[in-house]
Amino acid sequence: MSDSRFPIPESRPLRIAVLASGRGSNLQALIDAIAGGRLDARIVGVFSDRSGALALQRANAAGIPAQAILPRAFANRLAFDEEFFSRVDAAGPDVIVCAGYMRLISEHAVDAHRGRLVNIHPSLLPAFKGLHTHAQALEAGVAEHGASVHYVTPDLDGGPVIAQVRVPVQPGDDAESLARRVLAREHPLLVETLSLFAARRLALRDDRVQLDGVALSTPLQLAANQPFA
Ligand code: GRF
């Protein structure tokens, strides 16, 4: 399926909407990168399914419009997503970033935003989908763990992977220590990936990630403290 119906206009800073259910440290990384001139973008809205999400406070502190839309007010997922995404769309984002957004998104909403909806997931996808990824990685005994940014498709954590960062598992790691080190690398991964969107270098076409019009054969890999080549 072609996703060229969403060409991102070149004429202005990338407009980003962030969906977040909790802590919002990835949101903060984007806020800081924009403020520091490292990401040519504007966060046009933060949207949460939880009124107590720290992400909403971070948005308020940065002067970014933020709102919580609570699922319990809706009859079902479809009705919730219809209202939720109509508010997201009203902000006019070029890219919608799920950064710790903990709700499943209906297929209808995913399809309506295909090619513009991305998620950051704390594992080297396709390994360790779903929750408790750090515990899953330790349980499996892998030497390397990490994080991925991928396009969202109806297949949970299964959409085309744009970019990854690898984090070695250390002797004595528990889920918390591993999560801490992965999270520290998620932040530059997300910023760098969005920089590629901001430079209009990324597209999703025929279910493949394209960089500068060429399909990637493997996800981009973020090296330590290096931007993508
Ligand atoms: C991150 O580990 C992200 O990969 C996962 O949820 C966590 C969100 O953290 N999807 P934060 O809310 O950005 O601090």
Question: Quick check: 18 and 47 in contact, CB under 8 A?
Answer: yes
Binding site membership of 115 for ligand 1 (Cβ less than 6 Å): no
Residue with CA at minimum distance from ligand 1 atom 14? 25
Binding site membership of 159 for ligand 1 (Cβ less than 6 Å): no
pLDDT band at 32 (very low <50, low <70, confident <90, very high): very high
Which atom of ligand 1 is nearest the CA belonging to 26? 13
- The whole model's pTM is what? 0.95
Per the prediction, the chain carries an average pLDDT of: 95
Question: Quick check: 144 and 191 in contact, CB under 8 A?
Answer: no
Question: Quick check: 49 and 68 in contact, CB under 8 A?
Answer: yes
pLDDT band at 227 (very low <50, low <70, confident <90, very high): confident
Question: Quick check: 160 and 135 in contact, CB under 8 A?
Answer: no
Binding site membership of 187 for ligand 1 (Cβ less than 6 Å): no
| Residue 154, pLDDT score | 94
pLDDT band at 229 (very low <50, low <70, confident <90, very high): low
What is the distance in A from the centroid of ligand 1 to the CA of 120? 7
Cβ-count burial 5-24 (b if 16+ within 10 Å, e if not): eeebeeeeebbbbbbbbeeb
* SS3 label, residue 66: strand
Q: Where are the alpha helices (DSSP H) in 62-174?
A: 77-90, 107-112, 133-140
| Residue 10, pLDDT score | 67
